[in-house]
Every structure is written in structure tokens, then in C-alpha cells.
């Protein structure tokens, strides 16, 4: 069985997220999603999520492409995760291109996928904010 892993916050789940998960799953048989915890998002990534970790986890677990959701608690855990979960392929969006190439030294294939260009959580938040100002 070929195992694939991806990481992210997955807040305000949208079709860009689904596209990423579908494409990530196509690299193997079993897709693991490492979901950033609320604490990691706030303390290390400097962002606050709309949905809590548990809510985001429940959403991800309902998606047919996702086989397992684990928590992402710090940047450094990626090396450990590759071995603990016997990962074959590491997949991220191309806005991270080059940042995780070091994981190839852990024996995994590193793949960066292009994002769905017209949608992002940041765009949704911005559009909602702009819409509210216009009222």
C-alpha cells in the first residue's frame, strides 16, 4: 500500500481544498492529512481559524479521499511523521515549493501541486470582509 501525506489548516473548507485532497490521493492508496491544531495556527503560523480543530477534523474525515487525520503541532514533526506513518509521498501546494525538499532525505517522494487559482481561504475571508463593508 502506498501512503501519501499532506499538511494544512483546511479552514473554511472549499473546492480548492477538495481538489488538493483528490489530487494528493491519486499518488497512492491511503491519504493522511496532518491538520494544524488551533494552538499551532495561533502561536506558530500567526493565524486564527474560524472553525476549531475538532470541527475541521470532522469535516476532513467526511471527505472520501481522506483516510486518516492526525494533528500537526509543530513544523519539526514532519520528519518523524514520514517514518511513523510509513509515508511514500509527501504532497503540498506549490506555494510551499522547495520548502520541504529535505524530506526526500527521509526516503519519500516530495510533490508540490498547483493550487486552484481562483479560490483560497484568504480570498474568501477578504471577499466576505469587503462585502460586509459595502452594506
Active site residues: 44, 47
DSSP 3-63: EEEEEE---S--HHHHHHHHHHHTTSSEEEEEEEPHHHIIIII----SS-HHHHHHHHHTS
Task: Give the 3-state secondary structure of residue 31.
Answer: strand
The CA dihedral of 85, 89, 91, 97, to the nearest 10 degrees, is: 120
- Please state, as a whole number, how many other Cβ atoms lie within 10 Å of the Cβ of residue 57: 19
Amino acid at each position: 500500500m502506498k501512503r501519501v501525506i499532506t499538511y494544512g489548516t483546511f479552514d473554511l473548507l472549499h473546492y480548492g481544498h477538495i481538489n488538493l485532497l483528490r489530487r494528493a490521493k491519486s499518488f497512492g492508496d491511503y491519504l493522511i492529512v496532518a491538520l494544524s491544531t488551533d494552538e499551532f495556527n495561533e502561536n506558530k503560523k500567526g493565524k486564527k481559524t474560524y472553525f476549531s480543530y475538532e470541527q475541521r477534523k470532522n469535516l476532513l474525515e467526511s471527505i472520501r479521499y481522506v483516510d486518516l487525520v492526525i494533528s500537526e503541532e509543530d513544523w519539526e514533526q514532519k520528519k518523524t511523521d514520514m517514518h511513523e506513518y510509513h509515508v511514500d509521498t509527501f504532497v503540498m501546494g506549490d506555494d510551499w515549493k522547495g520548502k520541504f525538499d529535505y524530506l526526500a532525505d527521509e526516503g519519500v517522494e516530495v510533490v508540490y501541486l498547483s493550487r486552484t487559482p481562483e479560490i483560497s481561504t484568504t480570498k474568501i475571508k477578504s471577499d466576505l470582509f469587503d462585502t460586509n463593508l459595502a452594506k
